Structure 1
Amino acid sequence: MAFTSLSLAFLFLVASHGCLAQLGQQQRQGMQLLGLRGTEQHRLRAKTDCGLQSINAREADHRIEAEGGITEIWDPKYNVEFWCAGVAAVRHVLQPKGLLLPSYTSAPQMGIQGTVIPGCPETYESVSQSREQEMQRIRDRHQKIRRIQEGDIIALPAGVAHWAYNDGDTPLICVALVDKANDANQLDLDLRRFYLAGNPKGQQQSLGRQEQEQRRRPSHKQNGNVFRGFDEQILAEVFNVDIETARRLQGRDERRGNIVLVERELQVISPQYQEEEWEREQEREHERGLNGLEETICTLRLRENIASPTRADVYNPRGGRVSTINSHNLPILDWVQLSAERGVLYRNAIMAPLWNVNAHSIIYILRGSGRIQIVGNSGKSMFDDHVKEGQFIVVPQNFAVIKKASGDGLEWIAFKTNGNAITSQLAGRVSAIRNMPEEVLMNSYDISRDKARNLKYNRDEMTVFSPQSRSQREG
């Protein structure tokens, strides 16, 4: 799913039975991936005196009800942590046969859904046989439509038009991060989305989480799509259509909101996949990316699945697993400068304490619950509380964080504001403490050599720690 205005973003598919999506054409279609280096990301617009005194687990600030689903928004105007990180977040819930109207944003985003890329040719077309002329007549042409499934991550460059359709029989949930402070966004840090259809305002409800510490900035309410501001006569001339069609483009009388229901099935041209074919296609796309064959934005691989246990980069059978997606396994992330981490902790397991060296981390709780602690540079606890499904929490760059699962486990997706985010652990086999000399630890903490060795070697696991009994800790 995708939502919120952005220059670049990550989308993550939380749950779906089936979904079709398409991304807009990218204006820089001639750029070659092999020679493409990521846009240097300066986050100066986020480096403000944001007055970050504490961190909170956030639920949505706005809720928009539409005919075919619900959109929830985490607005940086009302969340000081989001403002400081220069990001916003959106969650779409599409009911069966729900169509998220086409739109684009001024910033990149990361999450899940399909896309349409600007300037690229239509590669899918349907034809019918004309009996009178005995020749094929083209009925429809459009760009490639991508089928997405649970666990897919899609990266969307700024200005790329996209839509999503739920062709399954259960709700489709899409979560997206919008990186407003990315250099690709040359507007401001307000959340802006530019719709190409309908009247996306819907029934908007403010959830009333405006705190006194939060910044007051002008509101950009969504009152219509971009065609609405043009003269209808000019639109009719531009598209060479009648006035009634031009008025339909403007959506002045629309009341269905930004997610509409399709009366029948959405009839689009898209190859049908069985599960085995889907897996083979994923493998082929990954191999093409590794072999450098995706030369232009029109053929660029935008999707990677992060949910499968076999995809894990770190696995502890007693603790859980962690999977990452960055510019090395999804090259477009070198351009949009975003990456993601998918974590699963089993009952009472712990994620090694760490800090993000070169990125903010924006965590969305997918399932379960747990305790998260965040500590700032002054040694002050910025957050120490339980988190639950559906909440976002921001971990600023270099702030130390620990995650511990509750009895029902903890699953999350973390969006990171760098195409190759790096973490440094505080405990475990690859930690900073493990790699320091014993003498340094003895004198730094005023402890004996035995205790320094225990500090270094007692926890030999790498990133995901299994729960320990009280007797183990006392021993």
Structure 2
Amino acid sequence: MAEQWSSDARVALKSDGGKLEVWEGSGVFEELGVVAGRTMLKRRGGGLVGIFISLDDRKTRESCFKVERGDVVAVPQGVALWWYNGGDDELEIMGVAHLADNRHTKPFLVAGGKPDEQSRRGFGFGAVIHGFSSGVLSRASEMDKSSVRDVLEGQSGVGFVKVDEDVTFPDATSAFDRNFIYRLREIHPDVRVQNGGEGIRELSSYKLPILRTLGLGIECVHLNKGAMVAPNWFHGSHQILYVVHGRGRIEVVDPSGERVLDEELEQCSLVVVPAFYPSTKIASSEESFHYITFVISHRRMISYLSGRNPVYRGMDRLQLNN
């Protein structure tokens, strides 16, 4: 039963510069239209992200932001962006897309080399400019065919490219951080757990308005050894849970009262929990448990079966006894 709810990542793309792993396409993943991906950029530490903001056909503006551990970067479908890791640690980027309304959506590259044999076995990655004829590219870019050919032949690497040390990047800015980036680690927990860890940090469209467009929300949970999140369910929102660090366990119960998942989780585990399926997460007695949950709703609503404010508190004794 666990195979329907969790999935092993598939390496879709790999090179000297990093790799892309993808969870998709079976059991609950396929039914709910969920795709998750993890990108690892070699050379370790903080990095940069560049976002190209197109204003119809009038102007395209590039904004470059510095990103750090725990930052949330939210961009609409179709927006072009790049990532760069210039630190001393591996840069891990975890992303989720909900494609229930558009299951034919596919990512593509606007720069880089032609698709190689490995990328064809993955997502078929290769820069889309190689698909156009030299005549079209020459006319569109107002360059002669020889110059177009030089540009195409100069494109190397598929997906990941190691850049020279002397390459410069745009200066990082904070002018548009409020539109695309949220420093989730810098805020105080929204829910504190006494003796249970750092608690729960929530991110919704109230704090980052672009999440309304994406229909997504996030919660970040840190539990101490042996701590537990009380059994709860999300209102109309599917959950995609990813383990950042540590070990723990998840139990999921379906609306008929049957336990459909009881599984140990460790670092890099990923599980999908459908809406209205009560679940609980419990940290190992030997390790703390840190996970993030991507919520398929821009406004997270949740009810608990126990704890400080359970649904039973609103019922009178006669209802509970019967």
Helix, strand or coil at the partner of 2:318: helix
2:134 pairs with 1:257? no
Pick the aligned partner of 1:428 from 264, 283, 307: 307
Contact 2:113/2:127 (CA < 8 Å) preserved in 1? yes
Contact 1:65/1:203 (CA < 8 Å) preserved in 2? no
| Partner deviation per Cα, 1:174-230 (whole Å, 9 max, x = no partner) | 000011124xx4xxx256211101137567499xxxxxxxxxxxx984152211111
TM-score where L is the length of structure 1:
0.61
User: Are the structure 2 counterparts of residues 87 and 356 from structure 1 closer, same or farther at C-alpha, using a change threshold of 3 Å?
Assistant: same
Pick the aligned partner of 2:65 from 135, 146, 150: 146
Higher Rg of the two aligned structures: 1
Helix, strand or coil at the partner of 2:179: coil
1:247 equivalent in structure 2? 149
Q: Offset of 1:324 from its aligned partner? A: 0.6
Q: Unaligned stretches of 5+ in structure 1?
A: 1-51, 101-111, 124-141, 207-218, 273-280, 286-297, 444-475
Contact 1:333/1:339 (CA < 8 Å) preserved in 2? yes
Which amino acid in structure 2 is aligned with residue 229 of structure 1? G
Q: Offset of 1:338 from its aligned partner? A: 0.7
Pick the aligned partner of 1:232 from 134, 138, 152: 134
Distance, in Å, in 2 between the alignment partners of 1:400 and 1:71 is: 31
Identity %: 27
Distance, in Å, in 1 between the alignment partners of 2:151 and 2:218 is: 36
Alignment of 1:385-400 (within 5 A): 385-400=263-278
| Partner deviation per Cα, 1:68-104 (whole Å, 9 max, x = no partner) | 111111122xx21111221101110011299x9xxxx
Pick the aligned partner of 1:383 from 232, 249, 261: 261
2:6 equivalent in structure 1? 57
User: Are the structure 2 counterparts of residues 360 and 223 from structure 1 closer, same or farther at C-alpha, using a change threshold of 3 Å?
Assistant: closer
Q: Offset of 1:62 from its aligned partner? A: 3.0
TM-score where L is the length of structure 2:
0.89
Contact 2:245/2:289 (CA < 8 Å) preserved in 1? yes
| Partner deviation per Cα, 1:408-438 (whole Å, 9 max, x = no partner) | 1111111111111211111112111222212
Aligned length: 318
Distance, in Å, in 2 between the alignment partners of 1:229 and 1:365 is: 39
Task: Supply the RMSD in Å over aligned alpha carbons.
Answer: 3.0
Contact 2:41/2:90 (CA < 8 Å) preserved in 1? yes
Distance, in Å, in 2 between the alignment partners of 1:365 and 1:251 is: 41
Helix, strand or coil at the partner of 1:315: coil
User: Are the structure 2 counterparts of residues 251 and 158 from structure 1 closer, same or farther at C-alpha, using a change threshold of 3 Å?
Assistant: farther
Helix, strand or coil at the partner of 2:212: helix
Contact 1:116/1:162 (CA < 8 Å) preserved in 2? yes
User: Are the structure 2 counterparts of residues 244 and 148 from structure 1 closer, same or farther at C-alpha, using a change threshold of 3 Å?
Assistant: farther
| Partner deviation per Cα, 1:428-465 (whole Å, 9 max, x = no partner) | 1211122221221122xxxxxxxxxxxxxxxxxxxxxx
Q: Offset of 1:248 from its aligned partner? A: 5.4
User: Are the structure 2 counterparts of residues 93 and 221 from structure 1 closer, same or farther at C-alpha, using a change threshold of 3 Å?
Assistant: closer
Q: Which has the higher contact order (CA 8 A, sep 6+)?
A: 1
| Partner deviation per Cα, 1:316-362 (whole Å, 9 max, x = no partner) | 24002000100111111122211111011110000011001121000
Pick the aligned partner of 1:337 from 215, 222, 232: 215
Q: Offset of 1:55 from its aligned partner? A: 3.8
Pick the aligned partner of 1:315 from 187, 192, 195: 192
Distance, in Å, in 1 between the alignment partners of 2:6 and 2:266 is: 9
Pick the aligned partner of 1:199 from 103, 110, 113: 113
Distance, in Å, in 2 between the alignment partners of 1:192 and 1:390 is: 24
Distance, in Å, in 1 between the alignment partners of 2:203 and 2:300 is: 9
Which amino acid in structure 1 is aligned with residue 313 of structure 2? R
2:289 equivalent in structure 1? 410
User: Are the structure 2 counterparts of residues 316 and 61 from structure 1 closer, same or farther at C-alpha, using a change threshold of 3 Å?
Assistant: same
Q: Unaligned stretches of 5+ in structure 2?
A: none
Contact 1:225/1:250 (CA < 8 Å) preserved in 2? no
Q: Give runs of ≥4 in structure 1 deviating > 6 Å.
A: 120-123
1:12 equivalent in structure 2? none
Distance, in Å, in 2 between the alignment partners of 1:400 and 1:155 is: 27
Q: Offset of 1:166 from its aligned partner? A: 0.6
Pick the aligned partner of 1:68 from 1, 12, 17: 17
Q: Which range moves more in the overlay, 142-151 or 354-363?
A: 142-151
Helix, strand or coil at the partner of 2:247: strand
Q: Offset of 1:118 from its aligned partner? A: 1.2
User: Are the structure 2 counterparts of residues 322 and 86 from structure 1 closer, same or farther at C-alpha, using a change threshold of 3 Å?
Assistant: same
Distance, in Å, in 2 between the alignment partners of 1:303 and 1:113 is: 10
Q: Offset of 1:247 from its aligned partner? A: 3.3
Pick the aligned partner of 2:100 from 181, 201, 213: 181
2:168 pairs with 1:267? yes
User: Are the structure 2 counterparts of residues 53 and 65 from structure 1 closer, same or farther at C-alpha, using a change threshold of 3 Å?
Assistant: closer
Distance, in Å, in 1 between the alignment partners of 2:208 and 2:276 is: 25
